[in-house]
A = this chain, B = another copy of it.
């Protein structure tokens, strides 16, 4: 008799795209597909279509046993299985997404926010394998984070723990989408570094970035790699804010490791080296030279699905 291979379904919901797939225990993505989230203004239509497509993926694989489904979504709450007031999604208010998916399947459905899903993915398949105390920081359009303590994700009493991007790093600093000022994500994120570049360019004519049609974290990284001083200064400025916040974070949870993920993290040593330097400068002596900062080891193309699916294994 054949033994069926155990497989988890992972669904990652973003404001633009939703990706989903089947993942085995080793983190191999057996099958995947995607659709445009924004094409589904009604969440019921969205759930019906994704469920149909997931069933097609399941039918395409032989000898598998689905152990569960993990969903990563902006503002996803693990405790309630709901998406609560996500600013980048068309579905308003509190959306009971885990319950809606559960109606289509006979296996358990878990939901959390995308940064928490990434943290679990990194622990099961990536750079934090076997590490019980670490922090995942996702440097995308915003800055998300997931804290793992004693081997468990920190959800907090209400499921909303881990908003490092909304710790205030500069009182009366930059305006943030949350309505306050000086949040870390207004500086340390793909959009934050672009804001910095635009500010710095107001007083500079001597840079590869001058005259570019569109400035992105990638174009800043490309200029920095060519030795462009303004681009290097932009990374230094960003790293100082991030390093400062990480030093304060280490004093709270004393992690072994900080894993960086997302668009800005793809600039690698350009962001990691100065961030590490500033973090060490700001750290209390008992923590110095103990905390690594490393890039994610999840394949970028699969990472979102892996992270979400990891929730099901957990």
Whether the Cβ atoms of A247 and B133 lie closer than 8 Å is no
Task: Compute how far the CA of A159 lies from the CA of B253 in the bound complex, rounded to whole angstroms.
Answer: 10
The minimal Cβ–Cβ distance linking A71 to chain B, given in whole angstroms, is 19
Whether the Cβ atoms of B179 and A285 lie closer than 8 Å is yes
DSSP majority for the A interface?
loop
Whether the Cβ atoms of B161 and A154 lie closer than 8 Å is no
User: Within residues 212 to 271 of chain A, which ones have a CB less than 8 A from any CB in chain B?
Assistant: 244, 247-249, 251-256
How many of these chains are in the complex?
2
Interface-centre pick from A131, A160, A166, A244 (highest chain B CB count, 10 A): A166
Task: Compute how far the CA of A58 lies from the CA of B180 in the bound complex, rounded to whole angstroms.
Answer: 57
Counting chain A residues whose Cβ lies within 8 A of the other chain, the interface size class is: 35 or more
Q: Is A168 an interface residue (CB 8 A)?
A: yes
A167 proximity list for chain B (CB < 8 A): 248, 251-252
Whether the Cβ atoms of B147 and A253 lie closer than 8 Å is yes
Task: Compute how far the CA of A290 lies from the CA of B160 in the bound complex, rounded to whole angstroms.
Answer: 12
Q: Is A132 an interface residue (CB 8 A)?
A: yes
Q: Is A163 an interface residue (CB 8 A)?
A: yes
Whether the Cβ atoms of B158 and A290 lie closer than 8 Å is yes
Q: What string of 1s and 0s marks CB contacts (under 8 Å) between A147-180 and chain B?
A: 1011010111111111110111001000000111
Residues of A within 8 A of B (CB): 84, 131-133, 147, 149-150, 152, 154-164, 166-168, 171, 178-180, 244, 247-249, 251-256, 282, 284-287, 290
The 6 residue pairs across chains A and B that have the minimum distance between CB atoms: A156-B254, A157-B256, A161-B254, A133-B157, A167-B248, A163-B251
